[in-house]
Amino acid sequence: MKITKLDHMFEVLKSRKKKILVAAFANDEHTISAVNMAIDLGLVEGTLVGDQQEIEKVCVAHNIDIKKFRIVHEPDEMKAAYKAVELINAGEGNLLMKGLVSTDKYMRAILDKEKGLMHKGAILSHVTVIENPNYHKLLIVGDVAILPAPELHEKVAITNYLIQTAHALGIEKPKVAIIGASEQVTVKMTSSIDAALISKMADRGQIKGAYVDGPLSLDLAIDRESAEIKKVGGHVAGDADCLVFPNIEAGNVFYKTNTKLANGELGAMVVGAKVPAVLSSRGDSSKTKLYSIALAALTAP
């Protein structure tokens, strides 16, 4: 089934065996409520790692049935993050979620060389799936949150992560645009050279499962009329499924413009580890948290 709206993920997940979400240091109402909603929708099973007494207080205060969850008592923030990772490594969970633990401690547990979730040589990145009411389909974009100035090999990894996510959403051969300031290749811009190299790698089968073109300016990637006016052809121009940004500034501005000015909704996850990881913040809407959990569950091993 090709998923064309974020809430379509819910129906797909309901028909599959439930994945187990493990929430690290889940002492707060935001995390517990998000996991509770995901369980009620039939998307996942939930394990909460944290201070059991605090978790019970939150559940009582918000009329949440604590019996829905498996509770693993660990009142220390850092130890709770490591415990959540330990459960994943032990096969007792399929996706990770950040609770009240600080982002740096959460990432430290994931990246730990001995006890973490990284394969040797793996690259951690961030994938966002955006539903913009002004675009005719979902947009899968990266990296907007983790890699500040990705080098060529990291951009190749980002490209592959976006393709894998597109496949999980039922897009058989996604159209990937490597974004630059212009469609013209110029040696004065590293991003332009990288985009051309990635495009040629795809042409030669080094990147598989997608149409890849670049550099493409944003308007050429997502607006067919602009592509026609500038006489830029190919499979991708004007109809991109995926956007690979040259740096975190470009990606992050695009991401926030979609949500703050265009009423876009999204789901997002950290990829590159053994399992997808939800990195939600207090400012995220309930829908965003649910969509992020669903996206991670959809792509979890």
- Give the three-class secondary structure for 151: coil
Query: Does residue 240 share a domain with residue 137?
Result: yes
Spatial separation of the C-alpha atoms in residues 237 and 294, rounded to whole Å: 29
CATH code, 170: 3.40.718.10
Indicate if 169 and 113 belong to the same structural domain: no
**Residue 285: predicted pLDDT:** 81
Q: What is the domain-level CATH number for residue 43?
A: 3.40.50.10950
Q: Name which of 104, 126, 161, 133 is nearest 247 in CA terms.
A: 126
pLDDT at 49: 98
pLDDT at 281 over 80: no
What total number of domains does the chain contain?
Answer: 2
Rounded distance between C-alpha atoms, residue 199 and residue 225, angstroms: 22
Shared domain check, 287 and 239:
no
- Statement to judge: residues 105 and 132 lie in one domain: no
Cβ burial of 219 (10 Å; 0-12, 13-18, 19+) is middle
On whether residue 21 sits in a domain, the answer given is: yes
Query: Are both 66 and 97 inside the same structural domain?
Result: yes
Q: Retrieve residue 202's tokens.
A: 């795809």
What dihedral do alpha carbons 220, 224, 230, 234 form, nearest 10°? 80
Is 163 a member of any domain? Answer: yes
| Domain assignment of residue 2, yes or no | no
Examine residue 205 and state whether it is found in any structural domain, yes or no: yes
130 and 241 co-located in one domain: yes
Residues 86 and 48 both lie in one domain: yes
Average pLDDT over residues 164-184: 97
Range(s) of the domain holding residue 168 = 125-260
Q: Is residue 90 located within the same domain as residue 169?
A: no
Q: Say what the pLDDT of residue 156 is.
A: 98
User: Does 231 lie in the same domain as 130?
Assistant: yes
Strand 44-50 and strand 277-278: the pairing is unpaired
Note whether residue 176 is domain-resident.
Answer: yes
* CA triple 294-297-300, angle to 5 deg: 150
User: How does the average pLDDT of the chain come out, rounded?
Assistant: 96
Considering the domain boundaries, does residue 110 fall inside one?
yes
In a domain, 282, yes or no: yes
Answer yes or no: pTM beyond 0.75. yes
- The per-residue pLDDT for 286 is 83
Does residue 204 lie within any of the structural domains? Answer: yes
